[in-house]
DNA sequence: GTGGGTACTTACCCCGGGGTGAGCGTGCTG
DNA sequence: CAGCACGCTCACCCCGGGGTAAGTACCCAC
């Protein structure tokens, strides 16, 4: 670490971050939510393959980790909007380089 | 969404990257390897809790993904060194912001 | 009345990633 | 000679994250 000059990174916050972001659909949710608040049903439709149960679970975990904000509108029909908290926004930005790396090296026409 | 003008990022390389980095110990391995080449036994000792089988498996997966390079020295006793490929280095750098985020928001004295 | 859309929850099952422990072939050391 | 260290590999088990399907309560459009 003297070489990298990374003070607080003791055994790196990466693994800590990985636990937050480690769910199968979390990064997709983050990705979608980065483009603005979305409702539950929208997320479900925007993320093909995810089921309601799992989507709800991942959302709750992200909420518990302070990444997303859950806004319930007491209307009828019921409406719930999910948005990123400031911390969530920062997380999204921190994920950007990783996404760029993936696009560059993993996705066929990424470069 | 039609509003998002993000062309190349289709469904973001993040999930692609997550598959590469999604193993339980992968980021730790990356983290250690970022500080220089290491032997198998060193990695095992530097990463508490990982078993040989799993370490070998993760290493092989990272190797298959072109992240780490495996150098076998035909000596006795057998010696094997693992190091990051250029792509692996880039991945490590792409992971840095995420680590910083984790350190800042997740680790107690991170801020 | 029926169906569809809202946002979930509950119960159940399944698969695979990861953990456990042992063994292998070699050569040096005690 | 026994034992250890090296870098794995094999066989087995286990747990939990995620998938499947159905149900809930409400209202509106048909």
Q: Is the pLDDT of residue A9 over 70?
A: no
Lowest pLDDT segment from A8-22, A51-65, A67-81, B6-20:
B6-20
Q: How far is the CA of A53 from the C1' of C3 (A)?
A: 23
Residue B4 confidence class, pLDDT cut points 50, 70, 90: very low
pLDDT of residue A111: 52
Check CB contact under 8 Å for A13 and B95: no
Helical segments of B1-111, H only: 13-21, 26-33, 40-46, 52-64, 86-105
Residues from chain A that touch B27, judged by Cβ atoms under 8 A, are: 12, 14-15, 18
Residue B3, pLDDT > 80, answer no
Closest nucleotide to residue A52 (Cα to C1')?
Answer: C8
Q: What value, to the nearest 5°, has the Cα angle with vertex B103 and ends B26 and A12?
A: 35
Q: Is the pLDDT of residue A32 over 90?
A: yes
Helix (H, G, I), strand (E, B) or coil at B71: strand
Instruction: Give pTM, 2 decimals.
Output: 0.85
Q: Does the pLDDT value for residue B5 go beyond 80?
A: no
For residue range B51-91, list pLDDT tens digits in order: 999 999 999 999 999 999 999 998 878 899 999 999 999 99
Which residues lie closer than 8 Å to B25 by C-beta, 6 or more apart? B47, B50, B54, B55, B58
Partner-chain contact A31 B11, CB within 8 Å: yes
Mean pLDDT over the full length of chain A? 87
The predicted-structure confidence for B27-57, as pLDDT tens digits, reads as follows 999 999 999 999 999 999 999 999 999 999 9
Q: Copy the structure tokens of residue A39.
A: 């409702």
B70 nearest nt, CA–C1': D7
Structure tokens at A19: 């636990």
pLDDT band at A24 (very low <50, low <70, confident <90, very high): very high
d(CA A107, CA A100): 10
The chain B residue lying nearest A100, using CA atoms, is: B13
């Amino acid at each position: 670490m003297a070489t990298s000059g990374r003070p607080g990174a003791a055994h790196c916050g990466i693994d800590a971050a990985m636990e937050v972001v480690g769910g199968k659909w979390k990064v997709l949710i983050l990705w979608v939510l980065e483009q603005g608040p979305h409702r539950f049903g929208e997320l479900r439709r925007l993320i093909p393959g995810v089921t309601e149960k799992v989507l709800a679970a991942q959302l709750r975990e992200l909420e518990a980790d302070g990444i997303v904000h859950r806004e319930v509108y007491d209307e009828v029909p019921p409406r719930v909007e999910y948005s990123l908290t400031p911390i969530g926004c920062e997380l999204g930005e921190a994920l950007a380089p990783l996404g760029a790396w993936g696009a560059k090296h993993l996705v066929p026409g990424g470069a």
